[in-house]
């Protein structure tokens, strides 16, 4: 029974990781909000779907590109520390830019395909996206390769996407719903909280990386 509870907590931690990866206010979230205000729930949600398609491509590239090298302690150390850097950097940046949040209330109608393409191209063309997923997902691969069976990685990956999907639905809901909930103050609070969460994950990743480094000496 204890193992079951532990498994649930581990799965929830990956869902939470997906949420914290998606929550910082950035180009994709700005596009979700813009499409939701202009066109409704479905258009905002489709922007997120496009972004997640790009994320899936990055995750596959990382998996097939570095998975076979993860047994080396030096590689694991690099992935954990690099993941820590990316998380902390993203978290601090999200908090620093919290006061720059603006809302665009234009009403031009967009097609679902254009919304899907917008989310996809914003993620796939970002030069930092590959480095971001290499650090974060590579760290997950490093941990899974040494502590669990390979098949569990699929479950953990799905949990990350559950977190991404929950955030996508949340943003689509609030942006297409009542505008009184879509205040700049709320978005600033979300940016700060998600930034703090990312820094928290970054500290954990960094601690784990240093621990592996010290064990290797």
Q: How confident is the model over 107-164, as pLDDT tens digits?
A: 456 788 888 988 898 787 665 566 677 777 777 777 666 666 666 777 888 888 999 9
Output the DSSP codes for 39-95: H-HHHHHHHHHHHHHHHHHHHHHHHHHHGGGTTSHHHHHHHHHHHHHHHHHHHHHHH
pLDDT at residue 84 tops 60: yes
User: Is 83 in contact with 139 (CB distance < 8 Å)?
Assistant: yes
pLDDT tens column, 165-203: 999 999 888 877 755 565 667 767 776 777 787 788 888
Task: Give the pTM.
Answer: 0.67
Nearest to 23 by CA among 83, 79, 101: 101
pLDDT tens readout for residues 49-60: 999 998 888 888
pLDDT of 63 above 50? yes
pLDDT at 158: 87
In this predicted structure, what is the pLDDT of residue 1?
A: 42
């Amino acid at each position: 029974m204890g193992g079951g509870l532990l498994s649930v907590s581990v799965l929830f931690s990956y869902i939470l990781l997906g949420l914290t990866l998606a929550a910082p206010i950035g180009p994709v979230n700005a596009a979700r909000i813009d499409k939701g205000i202009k066109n409704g729930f479905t258009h905002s949600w489709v922007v997120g779907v496009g972004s997640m398609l790009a994320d899936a491509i990055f995750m596959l590239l990382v998996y097939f590109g570095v998975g076979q090298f993860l047994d080396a302690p030096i590689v694991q150390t690099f992935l954990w520390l690099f993941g820590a850097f990316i998380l902390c950097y993203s978290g601090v940046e999200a908090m620093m830019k919290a006061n720059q949040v603006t809302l665009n209330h234009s009403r031009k109608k967009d097609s679902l395909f254009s919304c899907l393409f917008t989310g996809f191209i914003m993620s796939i063309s970002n030069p930092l996206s590959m480095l971001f997923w290499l650090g974060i997902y590579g760290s997950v691969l490093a941990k899974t390769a040494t502590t669990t069976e390979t098949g569990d990685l699929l479950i953990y990956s799905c949990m990350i996407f559950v977190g991404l999907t929950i955030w996508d639905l949340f943003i689509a809901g609030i942006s297409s719903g009542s505008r009184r909930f879509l205040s700049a103050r709320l978005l600033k609070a979300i940016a700060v909280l998600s930034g703090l969460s990312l820094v928290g994950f970054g500290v954990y990743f960094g601690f784990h990386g240093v621990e592996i480094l010290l064990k290797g000496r």
